[in-house]
């Protein structure tokens, strides 16, 4: 089991990763227990480096890193997520989003297969988060959020995450 985001108390997702010798009944019981205590368990069929949530997060951060160099500012990259993609993904994942954006995933594939592939090919190799680019991005964000104000900004974040979870719970209850 892995709880892997910060702050973890606002992320109900838990990755359950059984070893090859794990009794299948243990997996079932663990999923039931996690659900019962308010977690949202997902089953990972095999161990992979970084866990699933982190791998998806790292792919997004990696592309944001590449976009920073000559395409847009750190603030605007963050706005693309918080005001666009992140809002959409707060209620459904990328595959369901694609499914809903067309008449199912088969149509989405027909419409966007070539574009998705072309854009993914343009990403280039991964880059390490270090050196002058790291300093520039850090300084740009620190100009908006000084390090001595991190506690206040974390509190701001936590209030919003708690409110979002409350809204999601209310919406789920009203549609069950």
Among candidate residues 53, 49, 1, the one with its CA nearest the CA of residue 27? 1
Question: Which whole number is the average pLDDT over 65-82?
Answer: 96
Please tell me the number of Cα atoms within 13 Å of 23 on its side-chain side.
Answer: 4
What pLDDT is recorded for position 156?
96
Q: What DSSP string describes 132-153?
A: HHHHHHHHHHHHHS-GGGHHHH
Class of the domain covering 52-144 = mainly alpha
What pLDDT is recorded for position 94?
95
Q: Which residue has the higher pLDDT, 175 or 99?
A: 99
Listed by start position, the domains of the chain span 8-43, 52-144, 146-176
Q: How far apart are CA 75 and CA 54, in angstroms?
A: 22
Q: How far apart are CA 146 and CA 36, in angstroms?
A: 40
3-state SS class at 41: strand
Q: How far apart are CA 49 and CA 134, in angstroms?
A: 24
Backbone φ/ψ region at 104: left (φ over 0), alpha (ψ -120 to 50), beta: left
Q: What pLDDT, in 10s, does the model give residues 50-59? A: 899 999 999 9
Neighbours of 56 (CB within 10 A): 14
For the chain, the helix, strand and coil percentages under 3-state DSSP, each to the nearest 5: 65, 5, 30
What pLDDT is recorded for position 4?
57
Q: What pLDDT, in 10s, does the model give residues 19-58? A: 999 999 999 999 999 999 988 999 999 999 989 999 999 9
pLDDT-derived band at 10, boundaries 50, 70, 90: confident
* CB contact burial 105-138 (16+ within 10 A = b; e otherwise): eeebeeeeeeeeeeeeeeeeeeeeeeeeeeeebe
**Across-strand partners of 40?**
13
């Amino acid at each position: 089991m892995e709880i892997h985001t910060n702050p973890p108390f606002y992320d109900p997702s838990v990755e359950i990763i059984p070893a090859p010798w794990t009794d299948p009944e243990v997996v079932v019981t663990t999923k039931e227990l996690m659900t019962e205590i308010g977690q949202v368990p997902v089953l990972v069929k095999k161990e992979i480096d970084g866990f699933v949530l982190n791998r998806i997060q790292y792919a997004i951060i990696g592309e944001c890193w590449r976009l920073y160099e000559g395409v847009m500012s750190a603030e605007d990259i963050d706005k693309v997520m918080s005001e666009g993609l992140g809002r959409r993904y707060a209620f459904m994942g990328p595959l369901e989003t694609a499914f809903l954006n067309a008449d199912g995933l088969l149509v989405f594939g027909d419409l966007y297969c070539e574009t998705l592939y072309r854009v993914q090919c343009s990403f280039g190799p991964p880059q390490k988060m270090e050196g002058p680019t790291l300093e520039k991005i850090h300084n740009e964000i620190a100009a908006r959020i000084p390090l001595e104000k991190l506690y206040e900004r974390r509190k701001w974040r936590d209030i919003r995450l708690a409110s979002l979870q409350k809204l999601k719970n209310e919406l789920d209850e009203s549609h069950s």
